[in-house]
Chain A
Amino acid sequence: MTDLHTLTTATVRTQLAEGQISARGLVEEFLRAIPAVDGRVHSYLTMAPERARAQAARLDALAERGEPLPPLAGVPVAVKDVISTRGIRTTCGSRALERYTPLFDATAVERLEAAGAIILGKLNCDEFAMGSSNENSAFGPVRNPWDLERVPGGSSGGAAAAVAAGLAVAALGSDTGGSIRQPAAFCGVVGLLPTYGRVSRFGLVAFASSLDHIGPLARSAKDAAAVLAAIAGRDPLDATSADAPVPDYVRQLDEPIAGLRIGVPREAMAAGAGLDAAVAAQFQAALAQLEHAGCKIVEISLPHAPYAIATYYVIATAEASSNLARYDGVRYGLRVEADSLGEMYRRTREAGFGAEVKRRILLGTFVLSAGYYDAYYRKAQRVRNLVAGDYRAAFESVDAIATPTTPTPAFRLGEKIADPLQMYLNDIFTVSADLAGIPGISVPCGFASGLPVGLQLLGNYFEEARLLRLAHHYERLRGAFPDPPVSLAEAPRG
């Protein structure tokens, strides 16, 4: 029997089909083993034992009847708490939604379960997905399983930490400015940002609608591919979901990579990007391995990339200020009583939101306000077009673009929380893909000061298959990635 923390989508399905395990037994093992490890990591906000057991029973019934099993049959997964789950509270890491229970499932959740996955629970995150360290969760930060004194990244910090520590085989996260890829890099797992429109946003609690994406985190490119295949595709409930066909991501993994051209932006390697020397060394080593495997590494330029963070923090906050207007204590969530309606709104929002959410609402309100709209919001939208244009031009001559996912490895808890701008600068390599709407993946590529480093690969629109293939081949060149010191590896199997 495989250890819980090394299970893959393929091993679970095979063992279930061959009768070596039962889905119900697997669920019980996870539910029993998670608390001892997660007491230190704090990745789960809510467990969903009843829903998990019911789904497991359905899969066991299929297996017992010898019926064909769906692609993710029996695979224990978990879902970031900004993604709606019917009947399971969805807090968004906020006091405002501490007791909010959705009446519907996000399309990605529905599709994940239809593909046979078992949802174990909901994962901690920065409040409304706003943050790069998970310290903005109203329910306390997640800790990095590689070093409990360090952040797991954010905002999908719970998702990355849970997958790294073996507390789920895979997870759904969300990425608006790097929130899947950055924590994946910090925790040593794979995180995939799909093309905008590739995965339905229906049921994803909105932060910045033109930038929000749902995507998978997993311990391998292959598992990320399997999850993406399950959740991708047109959804009538999201008007921005694309009609593009969904390829067989898993089957395409083994196609060759020799001859692919990989561009390295000189702006990422420039002194101003703040790249840590040890991270740079791991990145160069990864490029050398890809080159040895037949890829061609070429220097490219993304001249507007240095403007991406400034652009992002105008557009994302503008959209957030509008999207978060709905938390007013009327229809759901927290209410602070007052004599007048206006007073109730203001007190409710004052009590419900944390500092970073308020900061972004204020900034977004400011850049949209009369007199500043053109100087900030319209200007940022124009720069967004230039950032996207850089990628359009680059992909005329390269098949993928490589950068480190983050300029440094995971920082210490408390290190950046007092300086919001320093925290934002951590997203320097990730935000521009969200602005352009192109896909990206972060795959672990070694260590700097004992902490995982991420290799980021970006692709043209709807070229997730190529990114997954490159990541999959790279994983083979790299070899097995070790387990973090805090993981389910400690748990004896019952």
Chain B
Amino acid sequence: MKIDRATVAHIAALANLELGEAEMAAMERDLASILEYVAQLDQLELSGVEPMAQVAAPNAAPGDRARDDRPRVWFTAEEAVANAPQAGGGCFKVPRVIQPAS
């Protein structure tokens, strides 16, 4: 896999990152070198090997289960927006999404 500037620009857009020119060049170089290293995985014969998405320890009850569905007060709406850069009326505020008709 050869990574080029257009690919970096594409994934930066997917990741909501706005990279400058110099940053874009550095990332292109670094990603190329890391992916070249990762290519060693191609040497392995993997047919019949299941993907492992999560650790499932053989000697413990599976922890992967939901807790009881009981309401619990963690914090108020006021507190929940306390860390927001912009808030009002217990809501998070963001720039206008739909522009008014002119």
User: Interface on A for B, CB 8 Å cutoff?
Assistant: 99-101, 103-104, 195-197, 210, 234, 236-244, 304, 306-307, 309-311, 313-314, 321, 325, 328-335, 337-347, 349-350, 353, 355, 358-359, 361-363, 365-366, 369, 372, 375-376, 378-386, 388, 392, 420-421, 424, 436-437, 460-462
24 pairs of residues in contact across A and B, judged by CB atoms under 8 Å: A103-B74, A103-B75, A195-B60, A234-B63, A238-B63, A244-B59, A244-B60, A309-B37, A310-B37, A325-B15, A331-B83, A333-B83, A341-B94, A345-B16, A349-B16, A349-B18, A350-B17, A362-B11, A366-B7, A366-B11, A381-B52, A383-B44, A385-B50, A420-B30
Chain B contacts for A345, CB-based, 8 A: 16
Question: What's the minimum C-beta distance from B82 to chain A, rounded to whole angstroms?
Answer: 7
* CB–CB A362/B97 < 8 A: no
What 0/1 readout, one digit per residue, does chain B (79-98) give for beta carbons within 8 Å of chain A?
11111111000001011010
Count of A-B contacts judged by CB separation below 8 Å: 195
What 0/1 readout, one digit per residue, does chain B (37-56) give for beta carbons within 8 Å of chain A?
11011101010011111110
Question: What's the minimum C-beta distance from A265 to chain B, rounded to whole angstroms?
Answer: 18
Kindly state the separation between the CA atoms of A237 and B74 in the bound complex, as whole angstroms: 12
Residue B25 at the chain A interface, CB threshold 8 Å: no
* CB–CB A388/B52 < 8 A: yes
* CB–CB B27/A358 < 8 A: yes
Question: What's the minimum C-beta distance from A321 to chain B, rounded to whole angstroms?
Answer: 6
Measured CB to CB, the nearest residue on chain A to B60 is A244
* CB–CB A437/B19 < 8 A: no
Main secondary structure of the interface of B (DSSP, over half): loop
Question: What's the minimum C-beta distance from A416 to chain B, rounded to whole angstroms?
Answer: 13
Given contacts A321-B15, A343-B95, 4 further A-B contacts (CB under 8 A): A239-B67, A311-B41, A353-B17, A375-B1
Given contacts A313-B34, A333-B85, A361-B15, contact A240 B27 (CB under 8 A): no
* CB–CB A101/B84 < 8 A: no
Measured CB to CB, the nearest residue on chain B to A379 is B41
Q: Which of A242, A341, A372 has most chain B Cβ within 10 Å?
A: A242
| Of the residues B35, B51, B80, B85, contact of A329 by C-beta under 8 Å | B85
* CB–CB B95/A340 < 8 A: yes
* CB–CB B14/A369 < 8 A: yes
Given contacts A195-B57, A243-B63, A310-B41, contact A341 B95 (CB under 8 A): yes
Given contacts A103-B80, A347-B18, A382-B46, contact A365 B11 (CB under 8 A): yes
Given contacts A101-B83, A197-B55, A350-B18, contact A382 B60 (CB under 8 A): no
Chain B contacts for A210, CB-based, 8 A: 53-55
Given contacts A239-B65, A242-B60, contact A350 B38 (CB under 8 A): no
* CB–CB A461/B60 < 8 A: yes
Chain A contacts for B54, CB-based, 8 A: 210, 240
